[in-house]
Structure 1
Amino acid sequence: MSVEDRTMHTSRTLPFSPMVIYGAFASPDLLALWWGPDGFTNTFEVFEFKVGGKWKFVMHGPDGKNYPNESVFAQLEPGSKVVIEHVCAPYFTLTVKFAPVADGTQVSWEQVFADAKTAQAVKSIVVPANEQNLDRMTQVLTNANAA
């Protein structure tokens, strides 16, 4: 089982500074607005944005179902990187890197699952969901910066 068999990638240039994008992760109020696929909302129970800090929340699907999640912030580098370990099934590590470019920030999103079987089983959901996360983040930051 290669790491590639367990990994989902997405990247995009967003028209914001690396610190603004980092702030979209650091602020529970902003993060709750954009985290997850289209149609989902979030209720955060624990949000400790520090290395080793816990993030426990429930995603509420548009179908009325609730999806409990628990993660740990493994690495936090302001304006540069956020690493989140999802410590309940499905197990994965999400690494989001921010690199300044001429028209904003290149955001690289890499999600590595614990096993290839799980990764392949959720790929058809996760790949578009990760794109939707970036779409939703962009909309939230656009609205926040316009206010």
Structure 2
Amino acid sequence: MLARWWGPHGFTNTFHEIDITPGGAWKFTMHGPDGRATKVTFRQTFKKEKQFEQIKQMCINGNEENFDRFGQLLEEIKSGSAG
């Protein structure tokens, strides 16, 4: 179900590994609306607060978009129209 709502608008995802324990990795492929694929390995570790502050707003905005898409999916499930 995560693949149906996570990521930027117009993208789909194939998840290969999700390990949310400390030191773990999240590995997935993002498929863009133009058909190109990007392999991503995500590890969120910041050694300095400045590194976090540099991407903080981008993360907040991206998460809001994800929550909007998740809400839409939940409404589809509730109404019985989710495929």
- Post-superposition offset of 1:146: 1.3
Structure 1 position 133, deviation (Å): 0.9
TM-fit CA distance, 1:127: 1.5
Alpha carbons of structure 1 residues 59 and 138: separation in structure 2 relative to 1, 3 Å: same
Question: How many residues are paired up?
Answer: 77
Q: With the length of structure 2 as denominator, give the TM-score of the two structures.
A: 0.65
Distance of aligned partners of 1:121 and 1:136 in 2 relative to their CA distance in 1, 3 Å threshold: same
Residue type of the partner of 1:32?
A: A
Q: Which whole-Å CA distance do the structure 2 matches of 1:55 and 1:120 have between them? A: 21
TM-score (norm 1): 0.41
Higher helix proportion, which one?
Answer: 2
Q: Which has the higher strand share?
A: 1
Equivalent of residue 62 in structure 2, options 113, 118, 129:
129
Percent identity, aligned pairs only, is 39
2:29–2:37 Cα contact (<8 Å) kept: no
Q: 5+ residue gaps in structure 2?
A: none
Q: Which amino acid in 2 is paired with 1:39?
A: G
Counterpart residue number, 1:33: 4
Stretches of structure 1 that go unaligned for 5 or more consecutive residues are 1-29, 71-86, 93-113
Cα shift readout 1:51-71 (whole Å, capped 9, x = no counterpart) = 78864212234464514134x
